[in-house]
Structure 1
C-alpha cells in the first residue's frame, strides 16, 4: 500500500460519507451497519474482481477462435468473487438520478446470491429501500474515489477492515465482539501455519481467522479453497451474515452456523479438527453449569460454579473446547484474557490437567491497546497435540509486550517485520533454522535496496524519483532563487552568518551523499560476493562495525544533515522577509520562494526533505531488524532471552502454581539506551495523541447534541 500515502485520510473521508446514513435515512447508528457494509462489500468485491480479471482472461482457453466465458471457479482460484455486470460497482455508480438505485443495488446483491449458494439470503437488500435515492448515489460515488480506481494491491481490503474497526469502535454492533484485530489474527495464523485440513472457529465473528488462514496458504502459492475447509459457529445472525460476506469477498466458502457454542456443537467436530482458531468472549459468567457439566468437550471438568449455579468464568470452558475439538495431530491458536493464565481455584486445577497432557505448546503475552473496544492486555495460547517428544514437557513462553507499533492514541499493532521476528522464534523452536537465516538475509537485502532507493526510487512515489539528489536540487534551487537578493546585501549584514552556514551545510551534505553512495556500492559488492548462508557469516553483515551498520549510521547522519540544511534555508527566508524587508525588493522572488500559492520552492524543498528522510530511515529500520534477531539469537538457535523468551519445563510450571503467564518466567529485558531518539517521530506521536483527543471531543459533542435533540431540548 506504499503507493497510497494518504490512505488514512481517505479512510476517514469514506467513513464520514458513510455516516450520512445517520441523517439521510431512518436508521439508528446500530441499524445502518449492514447497508453500509453491504456497499463496502460490493466495492471490495469489485476491487478484487478487477485485480485478477485480466490475468484470468489472458489464460482462458479458446477453441475455434472463441474464448469461453468467465466462471465463478476462475475467480475462486484467484481468491476473488465473480461479478455479473449488474453487480459491478462502476455500473452502480454510473446510474443517473432518474434510476432507482436501491432496486439496482438489490438486483446486484441477488445476482451474487444466485451465483454463490452460501450467500443465499445473507446480503443486505430490503434495507436499501429505506434510503433516499440521492443519498444512496452520493454514498456510491464516495466509495469509488479516483485514488482507489488505479491503486494496486488489496487497498479496499484495508478499507473493509477499517470500516469493521470503526463500527467496533462506534459500538454499532455488539460492542465490537465481531472483530479481532488483523495484527493478532495474522500472528496466530503464521504461528499455526494451517497448510491443509479443517479450520474451526467456534466464535467466528466476521471470519477473520478464516481469511488470514487463507492468506497464509496463498503465500505458499497454493489455492486455499482446495487446501482448507472452514467451519464456524456464531450466535448473532447479523454477524453470521458479515462473516459469510467476508469469506465470499475473498473467494472463500465456509459452513458458518448459528449456535451458542457453550451448549451446542452442530458441526460435531469433537476430536476431528485439524486447526482451531478463535477469539472468544472473555470472562463470561452466565453459563448454566447444569447444562454443560456432562459435556464431552470438558474432559478436565468444570472450572468452578457460583451460588447461582453458573460457571464462575467461561474462559476455561472455551479453552477446554478448543483442546477437545483437536484431532490427534491438531493445533490450536486463540486469544484469551490475561487473567486466565494464572487464575486460581478450580480454574488452576483445569489448567494443570491441561498442561499435563503435553498439548500446551506456547504462550505469547501481548500488551494492551491491540483491541479497538478494550484496552486491556491479552495472551495468545497455542496447543499442539502432536508435539515432538523433546518438547512434550515444555512450554515456549514469549513476552511480546515490548514489541508493538503505535498506530493511534488508542490502537497498537505489529509491523510486518515485528510479526516476522516473533514468528522466527517459533521457527527456531521447531528447528527450522534455515528460515531464520533467510529472514536475516532478507533484511540485509532490504537495507541495500533501501540505500539504493535513496538515489533511484524503485517504488511508486510520484513526488521524488531520486530522493537524496532531488532534495539537494530542491534546496539548491531555493538558495539560488534567494541569491540575487542576498548578493545585493553587505557581506557583514544580519544574513551573512546564516548564508555562510547554509553554504557550508549544502557542501557537507553533498560530500556525505557522495561518500554514502560509495559505501553503498562497496557494501553491495561485498554482499554479492559473499556466501552468507550461515549465522556466523551473517554476523559480519549485521555486526555494529559492518558495512550495513555503517550504512545505517550514515543514513542517520544524513537525516540530521538534511534537516539542518532545510532549517537553515527556512531561517534565511524568514530573516530576509521579516528583518531585511526582502518582499519590497524586485530582487526577491517572493511568490516563487515562499508565496501563498499551492506550490512554491520552500514547500517543494520541504516535500523533498520528507521523502529523503523517510527513505533514509528505512535503511536504518531494516538494519535494526537484522540486528534485533542476531543480537538475541547469535548462534541462530533458540535460547532463553531475558525479557523475551524462555522454554519452560513442567517442573518449573508446577513450582509456579502451573501459571502460564510468560512474564513470570522470562524476566525483565535490560533497559536499552535509545540512541536513535527521533524528535520528528516523537512529535508525530504527540500529534497522534492530540488528534485522538480532538476526535473524541468532537464525537462526544455530537453525541451530546443528539441526546439533547432526542430529549426535545
Structure 2
C-alpha cells in the first residue's frame, strides 16, 4: 500500500515522535504524557495545514490571473503600508480556508505563536499581548507554557463547535518543568506533516495510530485494540461501498473506517455530505481523537454525548444504519457485566460471557437497516467454535440467510497481535436490488461466497504482511462479480477482463446453504474452496506415476549404498557400527 520511500518517511516520523514522548517519560505517567504529546501533535498538524493554505492563498492574492488577485495599484503600490495591511487582512479571512476544507486555526493557536513565545514565560515571567478576538481591545496575559497551550486549545474549541469538550486542556495543571514543555514544542516543531506523495491527513492518522499503540503498550494494555491495518480497512470499505446513507462503527477507535469512506467517496466523485457518520468508543482518549480526526477533515459526525460502553450505554439506540463496519477487540472477555440475557439485540442467541465475538456481530445486525450490509473483522475462531452457544448462534445466522461472504486473511497483518483473523460480511437483503453505487445486485438467496485470501499480500518488513492494491482489487472484484452475476457452471471459460463469476479452486467458492449444513455450519473458507489446481504439464497420470516411482527406487538404492560406505569407513577408523 505504501512505497519504500513513503514507509521510510513514516518510520523516521515515528522515531522522532517517540523521542518527543520520551522527554516526558520520567516526569509523567503514561496516561498523562499520552494526552500531553498527542495534544501538541494535533496543534502542530492543524497549524501546518493552515500554513500550507496560507502560502497558497498569498500566492493567489498576488497573482493577477487569479480571481483573488489583490491589485497593489488600488492601495498605492506593493510597497505601501496600506497594501501590506490589506494583504494581511485578506490572509485572515476565514472563508478562504473553509472553502478548501482547511481547518481554521486562530492566531494564538498557531504553532509559530507557541514557538515564538514559549521561552518568554519559562521561569515565571509574564507575557502580555494585545488581544481583540472578541471585538474589544484588551490585554491577555500568559504566565506559563502550559497556559499558552491551554489557551490555544480553548480558542480552537471556541471556533470549532464540534470539538467542544473534546480537547484536553490540561497543560496548566501538569506537574512538569515548564522548560521541558518548551523543549517539547521545539522538538515537535521539527516534525513534518508534508510529503510529496502522502496526504497530510493520512500522515496525521498514521501518527495517531502509532502513538496510541505505543502508549497502550507503555500502559500495559494490548496496543492492537486501537489499530486496524489500513489495507484491511480499505478492503472492507471497497467491498461494502458506503457511498450514500448512514455509516456506523460501534467500536470506532480513532475513526479509520470513516476516513477510508471519505477516500472512497472522493475517488468516486461523490459527496461526503451524502453520508452520515455515527460512531461509539469506550476509551476516552480514542473517542477524542476520532472527533479530532473528523473535524480536521470537515466531516460531520455523531459520536454520542460521551465515550461509553457499547453494550451497557448504547449511544445510538434508534439508529438503523445502511452500512456497519468495525474491528472490535478480538475475543473480549467479561463484556456482559450489566447486560441482560434477554437484551433485544440477542435475536439469534445469548453470546457467552467469555467471548464477545457474537455479541459484536448481533449488536451490528440489530443496528442494520432492512437493506443494510455490514463488514466485521473477527478472530478465526468465530468461524468454527461450538463452545458456549457460539455454534448455535452461527447456525441461526446461516439459516436466516444473513451471511453473504467470508474472507480468510493471511497471518502477520497486525502490529500487536498474531491472532489470525477473518472478515464476516452480512446483509439483511440478498434479494435483487440496486446498490448505493448503482450496481444491479442479483438474487443471492441461499448462497454464501467464500474467499481464501491467506496466500495474498507481501512481507513489507521482517514481521508484518500487507496487501497491495492489486490484492485488494482481486478480492473486491470477486465479491462484486459474484453479487451481480450467477456463478458459471464448472468448465465454462471466462474471457480476459470479463466481469462474470466462476469458482477458482484454492481461492473462491460460491456455496449453497445445503453444503454449509453438511459442514456443520462451519464457515472457514478453506473447507469450501479446496486446493488450488495444479498446472497440467501434459504428461498422463499413469506415466508420471511410473516415472516418479522409478526415480524413488533409484534414490532409495543410492541411499543404501551411501549408508554402507559410511559404515565401512567408520569401521576402518575403529568405530563400532
TM-score (norm 2): 0.72
1:420 aligns to what? 473
Q: 1:73 to 1:405 in 2, by over 3 A?
A: farther
Q: In structure 2, what is the Cα distance between the partners aligned to 1:377 and 1:75?
A: 44
Counterpart pick for 1:365 among 404, 408, 421: 408
2:395 aligns to what? 352
Counterpart pick for 2:454 among 387, 396, 401: 401
Q: 1:97 to 1:285 in 2, by over 3 A?
A: closer
- CA deviation profile, 1:319-372 (whole Å, cap 9, x unmatched): 111111111111111111111111215212211221223232111111222222
- CA deviation profile, 1:518-548 (whole Å, cap 9, x unmatched): xxxxxxxxxxxxxxxxx95xx5xxxxxxxxx
Q: In structure 1, what is the Cα distance between the partners aligned to 2:394 and 2:57?
A: 51
2:298 aligns to what? 251
Q: Which has the higher contact order (CA 8 A, sep 6+)?
A: 1
Alignment of 1:387 with 2:430, yes or no, is yes
> Would the aligned equivalents of 1:285 and 1:314 in 2 still touch at CA under 8 Å?
yes
Q: Secondary structure at the match of 1:98?
A: helix
Alignment of 1:161 with 2:163, yes or no, is no
Q: In structure 2, what is the Cα distance between the partners aligned to 1:639 and 1:55?
A: 51
**CA offset at residue 97 of structure 1?**
2.1
1:685 aligns to what? none
Q: Secondary structure at the match of 1:640?
A: coil
> Would the aligned equivalents of 1:178 and 1:206 in 2 still touch at CA under 8 Å?
yes
**CA offset at residue 52 of structure 1?**
5.1
1:108 aligns to what? 152
Q: Secondary structure at the match of 2:339?
A: helix
> Would the aligned equivalents of 2:246 and 2:321 in 1 still touch at CA under 8 Å?
yes
Coordinate RMSD, CA, aligned: 3.3
Q: In structure 1, what is the Cα distance between the partners aligned to 2:184 and 2:196?
A: 20
**CA offset at residue 151 of structure 1?**
4.3
TM-score (norm 1): 0.59
Q: In structure 2, what is the Cα distance between the partners aligned to 1:104 and 1:207?
A: 29
1:136 aligns to what? 181
Counterpart pick for 1:208 among 256, 267, 278: 256
More helix by share: 1
> Would the aligned equivalents of 1:367 and 1:376 in 2 still touch at CA under 8 Å?
no
**CA offset at residue 185 of structure 1?**
1.4
Alignment of 1:324 with 2:366, yes or no, is yes
**CA offset at residue 189 of structure 1?**
1.2
> Would the aligned equivalents of 2:212 and 2:226 in 1 still touch at CA under 8 Å?
no
Equivalent pairs, count? 467
**CA offset at residue 222 of structure 1?**
3.4
- CA deviation profile, 1:254-312 (whole Å, cap 9, x unmatched): 22232222223231235x211111111222332448832221111112134xxxxxx34
**CA offset at residue 36 of structure 1?**
1.2
1:82 aligns to what? 104
1:336 aligns to what? 378
Q: Secondary structure at the match of 1:391?
A: coil
**CA offset at residue 60 of structure 1?**
7.8
Q: Secondary structure at the match of 1:107?
A: helix
> Would the aligned equivalents of 1:205 and 1:240 in 2 still touch at CA under 8 Å?
yes
> Would the aligned equivalents of 1:330 and 1:385 in 2 still touch at CA under 8 Å?
yes
2:169 aligns to what? 125
Q: Secondary structure at the match of 1:333?
A: strand
Once structures 1 and 2 are overlaid, which stretch shifts more, 648-657 or 235-244? 235-244
Q: 1:276 to 1:432 in 2, by over 3 A?
A: same
- CA deviation profile, 1:120-141 (whole Å, cap 9, x unmatched): 2221221364443443333333
Q: In structure 1, what is the Cα distance between the partners aligned to 2:52 and 2:426?
A: 37
Matches within 5 A, 1:209-358: 209-224=257-272, 226-257=273-304, 258-270=307-319, 272-288=320-336, 291-304=339-352, 311-345=353-387, 346-358=389-401
> Would the aligned equivalents of 2:278 and 2:302 in 1 still touch at CA under 8 Å?
yes
> Would the aligned equivalents of 1:11 and 1:159 in 2 still touch at CA under 8 Å?
no
Alignment of 1:649 with 2:497, yes or no, is no
- CA deviation profile, 1:80-101 (whole Å, cap 9, x unmatched): 4221222233433344622443
- CA deviation profile, 1:160-190 (whole Å, cap 9, x unmatched): 4144224314514542223322221121111
Unaligned runs of 5+ in 2: 61-65, 75-85, 122-143, 433-442, 487-493, 536-577
1:542 aligns to what? none
**CA offset at residue 149 of structure 1?**
5.3
2:63 aligns to what? none
Q: In structure 2, what is the Cα distance between the partners aligned to 1:6 and 1:651?
A: 50
> Would the aligned equivalents of 2:333 and 2:356 in 1 still touch at CA under 8 Å?
yes
> Would the aligned equivalents of 2:47 and 2:105 in 1 still touch at CA under 8 Å?
yes
Q: 1:76 to 1:381 in 2, by over 3 A?
A: farther
**CA offset at residue 113 of structure 1?**
0.7
Q: 1:236 to 1:211 in 2, by over 3 A?
A: same
> Would the aligned equivalents of 1:229 and 1:254 in 2 still touch at CA under 8 Å?
yes
Q: Secondary structure at the match of 2:276?
A: strand
> Would the aligned equivalents of 2:243 and 2:270 in 1 still touch at CA under 8 Å?
no
- CA deviation profile, 1:89-119 (whole Å, cap 9, x unmatched): 3433344622443322222211111122221
**CA offset at residue 243 of structure 1?**
1.8
Q: Secondary structure at the match of 2:346?
A: coil
Unaligned runs of 5+ in 1: 305-310, 434-534, 540-629, 673-713
**CA offset at residue 21 of structure 1?**
3.0
> Would the aligned equivalents of 2:30 and 2:218 in 1 still touch at CA under 8 Å?
yes
Q: In structure 2, what is the Cα distance between the partners aligned to 1:146 and 1:244?
A: 22
- CA deviation profile, 1:3-40 (whole Å, cap 9, x unmatched): 757404422431342233344x6212343111111122
1:178 aligns to what? 226
